[in-house]
Each structure stands twice: as structure tokens, then as C-alpha cells.
């Protein structure tokens, strides 16, 4: 079995997932701040902005996760090659 590449005691997969988490959190924060700063007046404007922020953030998460999955799959195949369940 191939040894997992490590950088300073941290595995590449752990590093990849922390970067993915940071980018996902940044996307949620940016979308929410934008929607909050550009919301309409009154309670209905704030409620509409919250709903739009939630929906947009949810779609951003789905899209980012798709690209992260593709990237990690390609890195896995590059590092370890094609492997089956039974060896």
C-alpha cells in the first residue's frame, strides 16, 4: 500500500479539506454580507435578503463541493492510480 504524502505531519487530504472548508465558509460569508448590505428597508426587506442569502449560499455550497470532489478525485488518481476495492 502506498504511503500517504505528508507535509509537516499533516496529510494532504486533511489539508485539502481544510482549504475546502475555508473557501466554503468564505463563500457563505461573502454572499451573506452582500445580501445584507443590499437589502431593502423594513422587516420584509431583511426577510427577503435572508431568504435570498440562504438559497444563494446553498447553491454555492453545492457548486463548490462538485468542483472540490472533481479536484480531489483527480489528485487521488494522480497520486495512487486506479485502485479497486479488493486490491
- Mean pLDDT over 1-29 rounds to 75
- Mean pLDDT over 58-77 rounds to 89
pLDDT at 2: 55
Q: Which of 34-38, 44-48, 75-79 has the lowest mean pLDDT?
A: 75-79
DSSP H helices in 1-87: 12-37, 42-80
Task: Return phi, psi of residue 10, to 5°.
Answer: -110, 130
CA distances from 78 to 32, 82, 85 (A): 36, 9, 18
Query: Model confidence at 81, in pLDDT bands (50, 70, 90)?
Result: confident
Measured distance CA(57)–CA(60) in Å, rounded = 5
Amino acid at each position: 500500500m502506498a504511503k500517504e504524502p505528508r507535509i509537516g505531519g499533516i496529510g494532504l487530504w486533511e489539508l485539502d479539506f481544510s482549504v475546502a472548508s475555508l473557501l466554503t465558509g468564505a463563500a457563505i460569508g461573502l454572499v451573506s454580507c452582500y445580501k445584507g448590505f443590499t437589502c431593502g428597508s423594513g422587516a420584509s426587506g431583511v426577510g427577503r435578503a435572508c431568504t435570498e442569502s440562504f438559497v444563494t449560499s446553498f447553491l454555492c455550497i453545492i457548486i463548490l463541493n462538485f468542483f472540490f470532489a472533481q479536484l480531489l478525485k483527480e489528485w487521488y488518481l494522480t497520486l495512487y492510480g486506479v485502485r479497486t476495492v479488493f486490491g
